[in-house]
Chain A
Amino acid sequence: MQEVLVLGDEAVALGAVDAGLSVAYGYPGTPSTEIMEYLIDYSEKKDTGLIARWCTNEKTACEGAIGVSFGGRKALVTMKHVGLNVASDAFMNSSLMKIHGGLVLAVADDPGMHSSQNEQDSRFFADFAKVPCFEPKSHQEAYEMTIEAFKVSEKFHVPVILKLVTRLSHSRAVIQRGGTAEKSCFGKAPDRKDWMAIPALSRGNWKEHLELQDEFRKYSEKSIFNPISINPGRKDIAVITTGLAGNYYMENIKDLDPAPSHLHIGVYPMPEEKITDLCSRAEKVIVIEEGYPFVERYLRGILPGGKNIDGKMNSVVVPYGELDPDNVRKALSLPPLASQKPVSIPLPGRPPQLCQGCPHADSFNAINEALDKLGGGTVTSDIGCYALGAYPPYNTVETILCMGASVGMARGASEAGLENVVATIGDSTFLHSGVTGLIDAVSTDTAMTLVILDNSTTAMTGGQNTILSSSQIKNVVLGCGVNPDHVREFVPLPKNHDENVKILMEEISHQGLSVVIPLRECIQTLRQKKTKKA
């Protein structure tokens, strides 16, 4: 046993290493990024043969990992919750493959949207694919569940989801680390029929997958990660918690004397017998879940005459945002703790903003002036630091949807008749899923200007290298077939402002597709490099 102080994400990384991991792939996304950063660092420092790499997007990462499994080795894929939307085609179909080397997807949800565009709950994806899902509530569980997830994946030959949330991913605590298992190497998967998603084979594989569901339920019923404690003396309420709600419940339990009967669910599919047992113990069940009301919805059903249930669906538990000790306390009908009063003077908010000297600021200033001089226009944008162009003093961008959508939405907006349509996207997001949208626009020479804000890094998540170097971006654009006369570059600096405005005005006025690449390195990564050198 070794004690180490780690982030929740790092506990997952160590769990994977100790499970005998061979390969990890991922795409950066808060709050999952630190899993892969730890593994990359680990693979560079220690001569263990571990391969850990960033990929173009979550789908290519997931496909890569499925290939590793086919080759008989353990693979981990890391992503944030919305990344699983991107990877879902590969993931959903992989549930019908006979997974060979263990395959675990570590997916980090972001309730409260600290750094995300929605609060989607990855348990639904596990349920959708009908595969087991682990949801740790502590660092130790994150470590142990990762090891267990690989075992389950290899035992039942299915992919397994490990669902994390921001507060665990980015919290630091000590774990007890056990030994490191040898890397498994089972060789190539024995039967190709298990690996081809064609109707004739998939029908059979789907039936087998459905037959497995009972095995999963039996496993979940016995799991130590689904602990139940019964107090026959308390018959008014019983409590079900999932994820970090379990911690917030325990934080308040001293005020709930005598303690109600309690089931914490950490492994899915749901332990139906334990749930039935718990619900028989009290008149009312309070269901407190971090994320969507996933368990609660199943419990309620639609037929009348069911159990008396409190939860997110009747707003006894706050149905949006993040849980915390205070709103869980309220859901348990406990009064707030005595505290100091807020001050009466106004406290203006302090939202995040582009750094002093950020190249995006110069690009937005140039776009604003160019569009002003052209009598206005439309600016779509994307996921990254440059989303801050939505705020003053820039107020440049009008749409932010999902990775790569700035390009497709600009094309659609232009075809709908809008004029002077500009799409703004970062270099990493462009390669992630902007390229395909650009090919659509090439096919119709749509009147729009794609501005690739190239700062040579994935800045928002802390400066991971972009999958291709900046020198390659122009080649990608030209390779997609954009007219070379309308592919322009400039350096976004205040001293170049007038020239940059001119370039933008020329290209935005062009009644066809154009691409402008403002290129200057992120000042944060530049600073980090200087510090490293010093």
Chain B
Amino acid sequence: MAEKIDIILSGVGGQGVLSVGAIVSMAAMKEGLKVRQSEVHGMAQRGGAVLAHLRISSGVIESDLIPKGGADVVLSMEPLESLRYLEYLKPDGALVTAAEPVENIPDYPDLSMVHRTITDQANANLIDARTLAKEAGSLRAVNMVLVGALSVNLPIKSESIKEAIRDKFISKGEAVVETNLKAFNLGREAGGRQ
């Protein structure tokens, strides 16, 4: 049986949803796995809801899109967005999302209700991503916190992901690499707590 993991990535245009996918893809490729990532470009990136499909497999990947009921994880950069895609999750699939909202619409629902709805899900993990990123040293490391939280659900060694993070940020200097690695570790710790 081929090793295979399907991830739905969601968030709001401009949050860097694709950069999360890029790190995971790079790490998967380091381990000799195949990847296919369906992205959103163009109009939807202007502050709208963004959905990306990331598929990782040791075998052939036929479709760019994950079927409903096929995803192992929904990883969301934003709590309201995380709830849009539950139909993609397998019955035992995991929901991992940042807790902090992007309230750029007039009818954003009550946040505590959104949070409660998330924590009511069977296999959900609400991550205080901004708080952890701040602790790591930079609010810009939010995405790496979420990569860390996601990593506990992946059949990929955390060393491979750390290598990918290093490769991605090395041109910006060692301090930036360290901040992002710390963010990854804090996210991974938070991801392990359920």
What residues of chain A have their CB less than 8 Å away from a CB belonging to chain B?
Answer: 5, 7, 30-31, 33-34, 114-115, 167-168, 170-174, 244, 247-248, 250-252, 324-326, 329, 336-343, 345-355, 385, 388, 460-462
Q: Which of B38, B49, B80, B81 contacts A170 (CB 8 A)?
A: B38
A352 pairs with B43, CB closer than 8 A: yes
A352 pairs with B63, CB closer than 8 A: no
Complex: chain A residue closest to B78, CB-CB = A350
**Shortest distance from the beta carbon of A328 to any chain B beta carbon, whole Å:** 9
Given known A350-B104, A353-B46, contact A173–B35 (CB-CB < 8 A): yes
Complex: chain A residue closest to B35, CB-CB = A173
Asked if B47 lies at the interface with its beta carbon under 8 angstroms from chain A, I say yes
Which of B84-92, B132-140, B144-152, B174-182 lies at the interface? B84-92
Name 21 A/B residue pairs within 8 A (Cβ), A-sorted: A5-B25, A5-B35, A115-B44, A167-B38, A167-B64, A170-B40, A171-B36, A172-B38, A173-B37, A173-B61, A244-B63, A251-B62, A325-B70, A339-B91, A340-B91, A340-B121, A342-B87, A352-B45, A353-B104, A354-B46, A460-B43
The residues of A that contact B113 with a CB separation of less than 8 Å are 345
Given known A114-B40, A173-B35, contact A247–B90 (CB-CB < 8 A): no
Q: How far is the CA of A378 from the CA of B25 in the complex (A)?
A: 49
Q: How far is the CA of A173 from the CA of B21 in the complex (A)?
A: 12
The residues of A that contact B43 with a CB separation of less than 8 Å are 30, 114-115, 352, 385, 460
Given known A324-B65, A350-B104, contact A5–B29 (CB-CB < 8 A): yes
The residues of B that contact A7 with a CB separation of less than 8 Å are 39
B41 pairs with A337, CB closer than 8 A: no
Given known A171-B36, A251-B62, contact A336–B41 (CB-CB < 8 A): no
- Scoring B12, B29, B36, B42 by chain A CB atoms within 10 A of each residue's CB, the highest score goes to B42
Q: How far is the CA of A170 from the CA of B43 in the complex (A)?
A: 13
What residues of chain B have their CB less than 8 Å away from a CB belonging to chain A?
Answer: 12-13, 25, 29, 34-49, 61-70, 80-81, 83-84, 86-91, 93, 104-105, 107-109, 113-114, 117, 121-122
Q: How far is the CA of A167 from the CA of B51 in the complex (A)?
A: 12
Complex: chain B residue closest to A345, CB-CB = B117
A-B interface contact total, Cβ < 8 Å: 154
Q: How far is the CA of A336 from the CA of B88 in the complex (A)?
A: 11
**Shortest distance from the beta carbon of B105 to any chain A beta carbon, whole Å:** 5
> A247-B63, A326-B67, A461-B42 provided; 13 other pairs, C-beta below 8 A?
A5-B35, A171-B37, A171-B64, A172-B36, A172-B38, A248-B63, A324-B63, A336-B68, A339-B91, A340-B93, A343-B117, A348-B108, A355-B46
Complex: chain B residue closest to A459, CB-CB = B46
**Shortest distance from the beta carbon of A393 to any chain B beta carbon, whole Å:** 9
Q: How far is the CA of A394 from the CA of B109 in the complex (A)?
A: 23
Complex: chain B residue closest to A9, CB-CB = B41
The residues of B that contact A355 with a CB separation of less than 8 Å are 46-47
Given known A174-B34, A329-B67, contact A339–B87 (CB-CB < 8 A): yes
Q: How far is the CA of A348 from the CA of B113 in the complex (A)?
A: 14
- Scoring B41, B80, B86 by chain A CB atoms within 10 A of each residue's CB, the highest score goes to B41
A247 pairs with B64, CB closer than 8 A: yes
B90 pairs with A338, CB closer than 8 A: yes
Q: How far is the CA of A338 from the CA of B65 in the complex (A)?
A: 17
B83 pairs with A353, CB closer than 8 A: no
Q: How far is the CA of A133 from the CA of B42 in the complex (A)?
A: 26
Q: Which of A115, A168, A350, A354 contacts B105 (CB 8 A)?
A: A350
Q: How far is the CA of A338 from the CA of B41 in the complex (A)?
A: 30
Given known A345-B109, A460-B42, contact A337–B37 (CB-CB < 8 A): no
B67 pairs with A325, CB closer than 8 A: yes
B88 pairs with A167, CB closer than 8 A: no
Q: How far is the CA of A324 from the CA of B53 in the complex (A)?
A: 12
Complex: chain B residue closest to A253, CB-CB = B62
Q: How far is the CA of A262 from the CA of B164 in the complex (A)?
A: 41
Q: How far is the CA of A343 from the CA of B89 in the complex (A)?
A: 12
Which 6 A-B residue pairs are closest in the complex by CB-CB distance? A339-B69, A337-B69, A115-B42, A30-B42, A352-B48, A325-B67
**Shortest distance from the beta carbon of A386 to any chain B beta carbon, whole Å:** 11
Q: Which of A115, A325, A462 contacts B63 (CB 8 A)?
A: A325
Q: How far is the CA of A347 from the CA of B118 in the complex (A)?
A: 13
The residues of A that contact B12 with a CB separation of less than 8 Å are 350
A170 pairs with B68, CB closer than 8 A: no
Complex: chain A residue closest to B116, CB-CB = A345
The residues of B that contact A250 with a CB separation of less than 8 Å are 62-63
A174 pairs with B89, CB closer than 8 A: no
A339 pairs with B44, CB closer than 8 A: no
